[in-house]
Amino acid sequence: MKRILKLLLAFVLLFIGLVYWSVSGVDETFGQCQLYEPKTAEGVDFKTYDSVLVAASTIYDASLVKRFMQGNNYRDAWATPTVVPVLYLDTLYGGVTIVKEGGGHQTHSLKLEDSIGTEYTLRSINKDPTPLIPEIARTLKLENVIVDGISAQHPYGAILTAALADAVDVLHTRPKVVFLPKQPGLTTYNDAFGDRLFLLEYEPKGPNNWTDLDNVFDIADTDNLQEHKQELGAALTVDKRAVIRARLFDFLIGDWDRHAKQWGWVVQDLGDRKIARPIAADRDNAFFSNDGVLPKILSSRYLVPRLRPYDEDIDFMEGLVYPFDRYFLIDTDMALFTSEAKALQQLLTDEVIANAFKVWPDQITKLDAEAITKKLKQRREDLVDYAKAYKEEIDRQGLVHEPLKGSEDKGFPEALTRCFECGDQ
């Protein structure tokens, strides 16, 4: 017994030592992009540049010990220089103005508006996890475990996701990677937002129709859709097939972070009724790769069950079902789930998958396309089984008992809080 205890103690001490070795020598909690051509932003007139050669970030460079403990992730993709177009606000879509600063826990963003009121968002590719670092991690000098976790996100995953979504008729925000130099149009935001990489995309709400759909009544976020429901009642429904397809597509690309605030809705007026189709936004966690010792421990279903790694199989459906799913899809026929899974299998052919990677620079494709393709194809093959498990988990968890994220202060009636159709009955 003593020998076992000694071995166990030695293992614990070795593990702790490797953890601190993996985080040693890294003090940065937030890194900007790295310019290569031009080599610096100082004194450069970017009006004379159509594009720049830039790496998303170099702070995720890692030793072998760090890669073992915290994962290979997408470190090489973050550090690889790619050609990115330069963006000026005064020439974008005839000129746009800044409406306000936005952003979540990690993402810095600016809300933009053009002359006819169409809304756009600039979302930082580089994330700032500082607000997410718990005090105990600071006390133990383990901040880098949180900071380094950003390397599990693919810096160009959003544009690959958009290409795949186009092929399977899933609405999205049409993201583009851009370099935003300091400029007069940024006004007081130059220091915080200038000389950085962003995703430029449509805002999934607003009065103007930027989609390809006809007879659009409104583009709304989820809480605004609930307000429409409160006013229109049974005359407003959601396209459940479209919701199921969009969510099964999330399973294909491994996007585990899909709460209600990450969706917009295109509401179409069909005369005697209105129907809403979902728009998927915020693709930071598509193809999420956390393959080190520490991430594997943290993503255990017993610790952080929603932090699901992008593997060939889905092994914990419970962690992927959100209140959003139960709210919109409770009591939906199983046949809709399986038929949408089969439709995705037919649409997402090997050729379609290969063509989607053309949106990436060649050097990024060479790094990550093979591994992602293998996982995507395997998930496609098993999608009908996942669709059945998804439906069963929704029904097992049942009705929602708290407001959806983003609608906590709306004061909706109890029936409208439980599910989208509960007030129709």
CATH 1.10.10 fits 215-425, yes or no: no
- Rounded to whole angstroms, the Cα distance separating 76 from 401 reads 43
DSSP structure class, residue 48: G
β 216-221/263-269 pair status: antiparallel
Nearest residue to 88 via CA among 200, 172, 251, 221: 200
The percent of the chain in helix, strand and coil, each rounded to the nearest 5, is 45, 15, 35
CATH 1.10.1070-classified regions of the chain? 215-425
Report the alpha-carbon distance of residue 214 to residue 216 in Å, rounded.
6
The pLDDT profile of the chain, 425 residues, written as one tens digit per residue, is 666 666 665 555 555 555 554 555 555 555 689 999 999 999 899 999 999 999 999 888 877 777 777 778 899 999 999 999 999 999 999 999 999 998 666 678 999 999 999 999 999 998 776 665 556 555 555 666 667 778 889 999 999 999 999 999 999 999 999 999 999 999 999 999 999 999 999 999 988 999 999 999 999 999 999 999 999 999 999 999 999 999 999 999 999 888 999 999 999 999 999 999 999 999 989 999 888 777 677 666 666 666 778 889 998 898 899 999 999 999 999 999 999 999 999 999 999 999 999 999 999 999 999 999 999 999 999 999 999 999 999 999 999 999 999 899 888 999 999 999 997 76
Residue 61 CA to residue 54 CA, distance in Å, equals 16
Q: What CA dihedral angle connects 369, 371, 373 and 374, to 10 degrees? A: 160
CA dihedral 62, 64, 68, 69 (to 10 degrees): -60
Query: Distance between CA atoms of 22 and 70, rounded to whole angstroms?
Result: 7
